Structure 1
């Protein structure tokens, strides 16, 4: 059996495919996740059980233990970071390469268990540019290769993520049919764009394919950004965002401290508030608040570590607004009750600035390729945020509905990396 893995090691999520004798198949990675072919790129070390967990199981254990462990996410973003050399976990020093290798090794074992065979060859996705700084770029690539070796891979090939996405799409083209394709990859933390020359049955080498990349662009806006904006706009008020504090013996009326409120923007930052000093402060100010129930809500949210489940309710509403005119952010637990109706108009207004940054990046990417919008043959969408109506309406109005291609939102890059394995088998 000639087999090679295709690994999409993402900032937010990872996916795996296997190429066996030229045929590619996506492999399930996380039986605990709603989408079993998607592994959240998250590591959690449980201090009590003294074990590492990954993906959705890591998230669940993190919640169950009230954050009594080491939670690590978005480790990919540190690959070009010269300052991040190592971190201590339960008294043991782990280099960045070792942290990345933990995720890659977990992915490798999942694939091998499925195939009942050891696989030591892999095509691993990488962004075209880790960093514009040459030293950081070289460091990031070396770290990723070293991490793959630590995970047990012997023959490792790095492939550009947009090229992998193009390879996925090229399987639908006739032999030698060429198109100019705008690839929009909407991730959890970033949105990346590229214009490439796609060709059916493309047999070009890795180096030759670099010439097919006409332009690149991107911004640090992703699905998580939209969740954060929705939380701040519609839900944070339930937890004290607009509370005013009136202290006795003074006429001053003050707002809630930003150092507390701003942590509500991301669910994994909420447990950082669970310190004796912060909790003592919240209990003290409850009697001075014009909306004391909001302070009690915040205390309960922190004490019971329910930030993750609250954000899942927010994400659910966001997804529902891709196909509805209105929905409700609904959450009830530990005396907290959130029932916040949201219309598509409100949602669009809330994320307007985020979407404007995405649109600006798309415009810049197309113009950098030296092309007009009418010269783009197809627009390939991948990633869950591609379903957001504001994004879809812009792309449809700009390029035409007939040019839009909706792929498997989460695993197309992973499968494309599997297709790229044909070059190396």
Structure 2
């Protein structure tokens, strides 16, 4: 029997797994017929049973009792990994939570392969944590340990943008100098690489990879910026209270705007503080919405509505975000211009990282003849426009945005292990 290997793209927002077997590479259906799965988990309060992906999101939005989590990847390399979090009243470490999610997709792949898979190439961002090499190394070690704990015996890593390049390389005629832009939920990573369909089975690609850069900015940051600019003011953000007209504390709003932090808001201390502020609020109607969100633990519904708005604004110039879970008939109108203005600084940092990648590769932007866009955040019109403006002479490839990294990791596993 030929060896079967796989690639896992454990993303901040979405994940996938692809098999490499008998010179064939294919994505595994991981949730029904879907080949990608939201990186979300829900622990049912009644029996602590875990639900994953779309099922987890549905359980939460249908208001089942339990604990919902997303953006788990952003915990890797941070102090939260050791601290853990309360899940239905009991402390659970994040390595166990992440292992549960990854074991679920490995099981789907094992079933497809008809035997346990032992060889994997895991995707990783260029930087799990910006400007902190020790934390970055720790994040990779933590993910390696998790992969081993769920049954893999051989674990390697590849930068996600390089994996995306491998997925596109099989379709290239001749040679191309490519820039790969992988804009995910948590990070934006870039690679300048020489591609050729003659190199698809070449094991050592070090001479073809000219530079890698990355920054810890992604779709979740866009969601946060959009939320603070357009959503949070309607629930009291930057409103005032008391005789001195002091601004209400901003931290609860900032935490409410991030998937990885919202669960830490539901504490008696914070609730008490917000109730006290409500009594002297100058905008009781809006500020009371914040207290309602905290008391009913609907922070993730706010985040989901914000993400829905971001996606809708890729095609529409205005979107009326529904907040019926707060008030019947409440819609918050959001303009695309508001969104683009809110993320402008983040986009500038992304483009700075692109420029740095070109500089480290020793090439000019005019030398790039192929730009590969992957990751859901490349759907944002402002991002598309900026890349077309920066590379007007390059062909732009943006198919399989959510699955090219997983496919490329499987191609890489084929070269390493088979």
Length-normalised TM-score, structure 1: 0.86
Q: Alignment partner of 2:205: what SS?
A: helix
Conserved in 2, the CA contact under 8 Å of 1:179 and 1:378? Answer: yes
Determine the structure 2 residue equivalent to 1:101: 99
Determine the structure 1 residue equivalent to 2:121: 123
Conserved in 2, the CA contact under 8 Å of 1:63 and 1:305? Answer: no
Q: Alignment partner of 2:217: what SS?
A: coil
Q: Alignment partner of 2:324: what SS?
A: strand
**Closer, same or farther in 2 for the Cα pair 1:278/1:330, shift >3 Å?**
same
Q: Unpaired runs of 5+ in structure 1?
A: none
**Closer, same or farther in 2 for the Cα pair 1:380/1:203, shift >3 Å?**
closer
1:228 equivalent among 216, 224, 227: 224
The CA deviation at 1:228 is 0.8
The CA deviation at 1:89 is 6.4
The answer to whether residue 293 in structure 2 is matched with residue 301 in structure 1 is: yes
The CA deviation at 1:121 is 2.7
The CA deviation at 1:49 is 1.0
Conserved in 2, the CA contact under 8 Å of 1:300 and 1:335? Answer: no
1:422 equivalent among 409, 414, 418: 414
The answer to whether residue 21 in structure 2 is matched with residue 7 in structure 1 is: no
The answer to whether residue 167 in structure 2 is matched with residue 168 in structure 1 is: yes
Q: Alignment partner of 1:181: what SS?
A: strand
Q: Kindly provide the CA deviation profile for residues 274-317 of structure 1, in whole angstroms up to 9, marking residues without a partner as x.
A: 33333334334434322211122122222222222222222222
**Closer, same or farther in 2 for the Cα pair 1:339/1:376, shift >3 Å?**
same
Conserved in 2, the CA contact under 8 Å of 1:238 and 1:338? Answer: no
The answer to whether residue 275 in structure 2 is matched with residue 283 in structure 1 is: yes
The CA deviation at 1:318 is 1.4
**Closer, same or farther in 2 for the Cα pair 1:344/1:115, shift >3 Å?**
same
Determine the structure 2 residue equivalent to 1:245: 241
1:218 equivalent among 202, 214, 219: 214
Conserved in 1, the CA contact under 8 Å of 2:371 and 2:394? Answer: no
**Closer, same or farther in 2 for the Cα pair 1:114/1:220, shift >3 Å?**
same
Q: Kindly provide the CA deviation profile for residues 209-257 of structure 1, in whole angstroms up to 9, marking residues without a partner as x.
A: 12222111121211111111111111111111142223xxxx4222212
Q: Alignment partner of 1:112: what SS?
A: helix
Determine the structure 2 residue equivalent to 1:17: 18
Q: Equivalents in 2 of 1:320, 1:168: separation in Å?
A: 28
The answer to whether residue 144 in structure 2 is matched with residue 152 in structure 1 is: no
Q: Equivalents in 2 of 1:69, 1:141: separation in Å?
A: 26
The CA deviation at 1:130 is 5.5
2:199 equivalent among 199, 202, 205: 202
Conserved in 2, the CA contact under 8 Å of 1:270 and 1:305? Answer: no
Q: Unpaired runs of 5+ in structure 2?
A: none
Aligned residues: 414
The CA deviation at 1:136 is 5.7
Q: Kindly provide the CA deviation profile for residues 121-147 of structure 1, in whole angstroms up to 9, marking residues without a partner as x.
A: 323223456677776666554443332
Length-normalised TM-score, structure 2: 0.87
Conserved in 2, the CA contact under 8 Å of 1:271 and 1:302? Answer: no
**Closer, same or farther in 2 for the Cα pair 1:49/1:96, shift >3 Å?**
closer
**Closer, same or farther in 2 for the Cα pair 1:201/1:113, shift >3 Å?**
same
Give the number of the structure whose alpha-carbon radius of gyration is greater.
1
